[in-house]
Every structure is written in C-alpha cells, then in structure tokens.
Copies of this chain bind each other. A is one copy, B any other.
Amino acid sequence: MHATPKTTGPASPGKLLYAQSGGVTAVINATAAAVIETCRKHKVTVYAARNGILGALREDLIDTTKETPAAIRGLAHTPGGAFGSCRVKLKSLEDDRARYERLIEVFRAHDIRWFLYNGGNDSADTALKLSRLGKAMGYDIRCIGVPKTVDNDLAVTDCCPGFGSVAKYTAVSLRECALDVMSMMDTSTKVFVMEVMGRHAGWIAASAGLAGEGSDDAPHIILFPELEFDPEKFLARVRETVDRVGCCVIAASEGIKYADGKFVADAHAGTDAFGHTQLGGVAPALAGMVRDKLKLKTHWAMPDYLQRSARHIASKTDLDQALAVGKAAVELALAGENAVMPVIARTSDSPYRWKIQTAKLDKIANREKKLPRAFVSKDGFHITAAARKYLSPLIRGEAPPPYDRSGLPEYVTLKNVAVKPKLPVLDV
C-alpha cells in the first residue's frame, strides 16, 4: 500500500526516535532532556514524535537538533510533555497490524534505528510488539521502554519516575492543609477530604500518609483502591477521629469502590436541577456523606492535574531517577539492546541507594503493581512502617525550577520544528 520512500537518508548511524506516552508527569521532560543530551554526546540525531505514538503513525516528527542546549537543559525543570503525549493504545499485532507496519515504514523512511518509548505498562507492550515486528519485517529497530508514570504501578522497577514528585506534592499539600484545618476546627471545618489520583493502585494515596507520623497527625484516614470501601466503617472512624482529635483529615484515592465493585465517584454522579451531568468525584461524595450522616462541616479538595504537573515541588530523588533512566535508555539502545527497559533497583533503604538495571519488556508489559497489603495497616485506614520505609526516600530532596523576575517558574517551550514527511499521508 505504501511505496518504500525514494530517499532514506544516510544509512548509518541512523536516528533515534523518542516518544512520550500516557499521562504526563512533573519529570517526564527531564527524561527527555537526558535522552537528548546523551544522544548529543554520542552524535546521534534525536527525532521526537509529536503527541506520542500518534506522531510516529502520522509521520509527524520533530527535529530536536533545532533546539538550543539551553532549551534542552530547561526541559529538565519543565512539567508536562514537551513534545505532546497521547492516550492511544495499540491492540495486538493481529488486530492492529496495519498500524504496526506503518510505524516500521516511518522508521525506515527516516532511518530510525532506535525507538525510545517513555511510558507505562501499555507503552512497554507497544515497544515490545514493535521490536518483534521489526525483526519479522527485516528492519533492524531497537525498541527500549523508558519508565514513566505517576501511578507507580509499573512492574519490576522498584519505583517509577514521576511518582516521587506526585508523592511529595501529596504529602506536602496534605501537611499544609491539615495545619489549616486544625487552626479552624473549633468553629469551622471538622472534616476535610483530599482526593488523589491512582485509579487502580493506592501508591499516591499511601504517600499522603507521609504527611504525619503520630497517631493523631493528619491524614487520619487513607482510603485505598485496593480495599473495599465500607461507608459504615468509614463514618464510624471519622466520628471517632473528630471526637478524639477535633477534626479528621482524609486522603482518598479516586479509585475506591463499593462492595459491588462500583466506583464511589461514579455512584454519586447524577444530574442536577438543570438536567446537566453532575460529574463524579470521590472527595465531594465522601464530604456529602459525612455532612449528611454525621452533621459535620466538611471541605474537600481535588487537585487533579495540579498534582502530576507540580514541578515546583518535585522530589530531587525522582528528578535524579528520571534523568538516569533517560541516559540509561540511550546507552542500552546504542549498545544494541532490544525490548528492554532501564529500571530502578533499590540496593539499600537506609541510607537510600539505588542503581539502574536492565529489565526485559515482556516482564513489564501489561502488568500492574498494586500496593502490597503489608503496606496498609490492619484496619485498612493507614500505612505501615514498611510502607514508610519504602516511600520516604522517594520524596527526599528538593529540586525547584529557576524562577524569573516575575515570580513564575522559567518553564521552557520548545520550537518543535517538524521534520519534512517522506511518506504519503495516512489517516491513522
């Protein structure tokens, strides 16, 4: 269907294509910066796919050689996804063969010899399939997964770049608003609910637990998506906490479910007096429940994207790891590795030490690492010492962005110059 392009450019040493996938994080651009800087050291040209895998399918590629060293350095402190990301999951090789083949064609057209896919479980799966198809189609492409997800649910790696920063944001924000609530509890809000991301895994919810250490410290209740939500038990614990402490600060995962498997957020969505959709939300649902049943004044917060883009409060550990996986991914690629991902291995808890290891993509693709039950207290409402030991190093250290004279972070915007397409346009 598509003719082999007439010009393929210099056959060697080829180019490296980098793409961002799925929900972005505070430090995914740091990984991108490390990828590009490491390639520049090795004199390898980096193209980036605009809007993730879609850019590769559409042959909408960005020539990163047009960016200044300062701009690439600046990426390391800029949140969001500088080249655009996307929520597109390719199906199996059988069901989506045309799109996989199109990718190989685009790679061939631009002499792309290395493909770095920066994402989570799904992206690992895509990279793995591409590496197999390349072989089958006789095109020598090295596919490397690069870990990224705020959810920390990636298998094999001890933790995932992106998570440490959202964990730090969550713990710091919860500590701050708990001070606010405690100041006012005598005459104002008694129960405060903060909703956090993590639809299937409670890692972010667990990180809220780092905000306090004593038994009366906030958060007083954490609700994990791995455990069934029992409204009676929850309300009893809220009542007891308010009686004992004077207030109750709650961190709730967006993904908590009732016994029947229904998401709490969805169960409470509805239609308002105007006939408009009432969007669900765990925090307002829980706050409404507390207000109705316990007659206590409530407030709630839903940081949503703020939590995963808060580069201003990024964890230095997380930033270091985001940079390290970017550098390692390039080195693995140039060393001829295929279908692997650089992952983080913890070698010591105290002092915290870690190193980069290489994992096979087939051990990571489509798996999901949930919060271990041993990280959750027996009563299901808090984290254990084991969880603290694991989580605490991940939020350590500060890595603030530079601020300009207007008081705002100096986040960079790239030029993102398009590479001239060589193939017929394809509607993907």
Contact = CB atoms under 8 A, between A and B. Distances in A.
Interface residues of A, number: 89
Interface class of chain A by DSSP: mixed
A87 B184 contact: yes
Copies of this chain assembled into the complex: 2
Contacts of A392: 406-407
Nearest to A231: B274
Interface in A163-214: 168, 171-173, 175-177, 179-184, 186-189, 192, 194, 210-211
B86 A179 contact: no
A24 B408 contact: no
Contacts of A317: 407
Given A177-B306, A284-B278, A284-B281, A85 B183 contact: yes
A336 interface: no
A304 B396 CA distance: 26
A299 interface: yes
A285 B272 contact: yes
A80 B84 CA distance: 38
A172 B409 contact: yes
Given A78-B179, A179-B80, A277-B291, A305 B268 contact: no
Interface of A: 20, 23-24, 26, 51, 54, 78-82, 84-88, 168, 171-173, 175-177, 179-184, 186-189, 192, 194, 210-211, 267-274, 276-279, 281, 283-285, 287-289, 291-292, 298-306, 308-313, 315-317, 392, 395-398, 400, 403, 405-409, 411
Contacts of A175: 408-409, 411
A211 to B, nearest CB: 7
A411 to B, nearest CB: 6
A49 to B, nearest CB: 11
A396 B405 contact: yes
Contacts of A408: 171-172, 175, 210-211, 395
A271 B81 CA distance: 38
Contact of A187 (B88, B287, B292, B407): B88
Given A179-B80, A180-B305, A291-B277, A312 B269 contact: no
